Amino acid sequence: MTFSIHGIAVSSGIAIGRAVLVASGRADVAHYFIEPEQVSAELARVKDAKNAVVDELIRLQHSVVLREAKDTPSEIAALIDVHMMLLQDQVLQDGVMQWIMERHYNAEWALVSQMAVLARQFDEMEDEYLRERKGDLEQVVERVLKVLQGKPSELPHAAPLADAGLILVAHDLSPADMLQFKDSVFAGFVTDVGGKTSHTAIVARSMDIPAVVGARTASMLISQDDWIIIDGDAGVIVVDPSPTILRQYRDRQQIALLEREQLQRLKHTVTITKDGYKVDLLANIERPEDAEAAIAAGAVGVGLFRSEFLFMGRAGKLPSEDEQYEAYSSAVKGMQGLPVTIRTVDVGADKPLDARSSAHDDAHLNPALGLRAIRWCLAEPEMFRAQLRAILRAAVHGQIHLLIPMLCAASEIELSLKQIELARAELDQRGVAYGPVKLGAMIEIPAAALALPIFLKHFDFLSIGTNDLIQYTLAIDRADESVAHLYDPLHPAVLHLIATTIRQCNEAGKSVSVCGEMAGDVSMTRLLLGLGLRSFSMHPSQILSVKREVLASHAGQLTTWAKKVLRSDHPASLLNQ
């Protein structure tokens, strides 16, 4: 039966495919695709883990038999028998094998997927005793998972699947998990939690595939292999669509495809307003290899390289200076002489270093207000300087702009600049070559926007991080779907901070850009142009749509209109005038 689920639209377009459920409640289990040649090794992993649990249960049985006469109730022995039976069950084993061989799921993922299938069958059983065996199945699977996790394997890169049209449905996905799926063939994403500018949503948008987050119970309502449609513009998921609905969405998909093809014609057009103002459209990237998409979209540089993605999902093992140097150099070379803005590591809040060990953040009441970004870097100066040295060394290969996130106070600015000086001195001492870099700061805390002259004194350029600026100005957790309706880029206070930052930078002759999600939102382009912005940084997939908007705009006329918007209590009501 067809039904729909409503969530938050975070990445536009229509996706149609079968649901791939990342089992809810088991988000701590690694989910990744294996390479075809790893299939037999993965099957062997499951077999070894199963055999280890069989041994465990046999040992348990012996100890029960030995103690039976004394204090162990006989039900325990019976329970172990049930567990043993479930473990040997052919349906469980065949199912797991199938997920691994046909879908190339890793062992843990295959196991929890098959458990979800069987759990559903148990739920439907008439007999209460049999229904309750679901709990036993979960315990047995838990044992196997523990053994599997006891020998953790490196997470390989997500490999493409043979068949397309798969839609990932999960309770939650960390940004690092999401990044792993970047090279896979998922046609869309659905998660129960998350807000419009949560980092998971940002990565989904960078992948340019339809996504809906904050869909609350979607992962419980949707079953493995269900046919679903994601409407990434409306934030709607249609489950088990009827042939008529399917046809309508397929038509919309076709129209969107045609529009995209038309946009491609703008690729080589210089971005200039009708009244002759040149506008820089830059790319936001997460990995060096994303430079290719940036070039393909006609970006005139990288305005934000979120370097933290090099640090995430590595079980606490940070990348070395040399490894980072290679990554930054590769991004610089990939951009073929265009400037690359590398932001120093910004972990914390909804970007934990390791999704499976985020205990640090959980232990803090307000991780978004805690030791994240530059605060963490200054608390770990050795790590910070290794990154700075890597960036300075990579600057030998091309133009690098070094950008520091989350700065707030003059003391933090001074400490950061000192670390950069120290990093240069260390390279001098080692006799290692390095290049010049422009220095910039993110304006993403209201205090920074309000104390802008301090920043103008120290930096060559500024970049407005509207995602955090909105979060901190309005006291709205950007990753929390329950307050997502209050997350308002057009709140007069937010617009005031953006407008005054742009104006002061322009007056001081310092370059300024916006690199938050607002920059890639075409409904905001005219307003930002009217506020005097001439540099926008966004996902490569958004560049051509924003370019079309700029080409159709008259910046002079927009200035007068933007002033009116700034004075309004309800700026949103004026946006389409």
Where on the chain is the footprint of ligand PEP (CB under 6 A)? Answer: 202, 304, 306, 346, 444, 465-468, 515-516
- With b for 16 or more beta-carbon neighbours within 10 A and e for fewer, the 137-150 pattern comes to bbebbebbbebbee
Residue 505 burial by CB count (10 A; 0-12/13-18/19+): exposed, middle or buried? buried
Within 13 Å, how many C-alpha atoms sit on residue 391's CB side?
Answer: 28
Which of Mg ion, ligand PEP, none sits in contact with 515, Cβ below 5 to 8 A by type? ligand PEP
Shorter beta-carbon distance to Mg ion: residue 92 or 470: 470
- Give the orientation angle of helix 492-508 with respect to helix 555-567, to 10 degrees: 140
Strands of 96-148 (E only): list them: none
Shorter beta-carbon distance to Mg ion: residue 327 or 469: 469
With residue 222 as reference, give the H or E element that holds it.
Answer: none
Q: How far is the CB of 373 from Mg ion (least distance, A)?
A: 7
Shorter beta-carbon distance to Mg ion: residue 206 or 329: 206
451 vs 430: CA distance, rounded Å: 38
Q: How far is the CB of 351 from ligand PEP (least distance, A)?
A: 7
Shorter beta-carbon distance to Mg ion: residue 286 or 444: 444
Kindly report the CA angle at 278 between 270 and 453, in degrees rounded to 5? 145
Tokens of 286: 């997460």
Shorter beta-carbon distance to ligand PEP: residue 24 or 467: 467
Which of Mg ion, ligand PEP, none sits in contact with 539, Cβ below 5 to 8 A by type? none
How many angstroms separate the Cα of 194 from the Cα of each of 32, 167, 172, 198? 21, 17, 8, 6
Distance of CA 431 to the CA centre of its chain: 38
Contacts 24+ apart (CB under 8 A), 363-367: none
Tokens of 324: 């980072």
Among all chains, which residue has been given the structure tokens 């290049």?
435
Q: How far is the CB of 406 from Mg ion (least distance, A)?
A: 7
Q: How far is the CB of 197 from Mg ion (least distance, A)?
A: 9
339 vs 282: CA distance, rounded Å: 9
Shorter beta-carbon distance to ligand PEP: residue 202 or 294: 202
- Give the orientation angle of helix 90-103 with respect to helix 107-123, to 10 degrees: 130
Contacts 24+ apart (CB under 8 A), 472-475: 472/368, 472/444, 472/445, 472/446, 473/446, 473/497
The residues in 11-30 that bind Mg ion, with binding defined as CB under 5 A, are none
Q: How far is the CB of 345 from ligand PEP (least distance, A)?
A: 11
Does 468 bind Mg ion (CB under 5 A)? Our answer is yes
Q: How far is the CB of 404 from ligand PEP (least distance, A)?
A: 12
Q: Residues 108-147 vs Mg ion: string with x where CB under 5 A? A: ----------------------------------------
Under DSSP, the state recorded for 174 is -
The residues in 202-241 that bind Mg ion, with binding defined as CB under 5 A, are none
Tokens of 177: 């998990």
Which of Mg ion, ligand PEP, none sits in contact with 177, Cβ below 5 to 8 A by type? none
Handedness of CA 235, 238, 244, 249 (dihedral sign): positive
141 vs 535: CA distance, rounded Å: 53
Shorter beta-carbon distance to ligand PEP: residue 189 or 472: 472
Coil, strand or helix: which one is 420? helix
Q: How far is the CB of 204 from Mg ion (least distance, A)?
A: 17
**Rg over CA atoms, the chain:** 26
Catalytic member of 199, 397, 401, 539? 199
519 vs 469: CA distance, rounded Å: 13
Does 477 bind Mg ion (CB under 5 A)? Our answer is no
Which of ligand PEP, Mg ion, none sits in contact with 466, Cβ below 5 to 8 A by type? ligand PEP
Which of ligand PEP, Mg ion, none sits in contact with 306, Cβ below 5 to 8 A by type? ligand PEP
The residues in 398-457 that bind Mg ion, with binding defined as CB under 5 A, are 444
282 vs 489: CA distance, rounded Å: 20
Binding residue count for Mg ion, defined by CB under 5 A: 3
199 is catalytic: yes
Q: How far is the CB of 203 from Mg ion (least distance, A)?
A: 14
End-to-end CA distance of the chain: 42
Does 350 bind Mg ion (CB under 5 A)? Our answer is no
Tokens of 158: 């997500």
Shorter beta-carbon distance to Mg ion: residue 7 or 465: 465
Q: How far is the CB of 374 from ligand PEP (least distance, A)?
A: 12
Q: Are 10 and 204 in contact (CB under 8 A)?
A: yes
Shorter beta-carbon distance to ligand PEP: residue 42 or 412: 412
Q: What are the residue numbers of the active site? A: 199, 515
Write out the residues near Mg ion by the rule CB under 5 A.
444, 465, 468
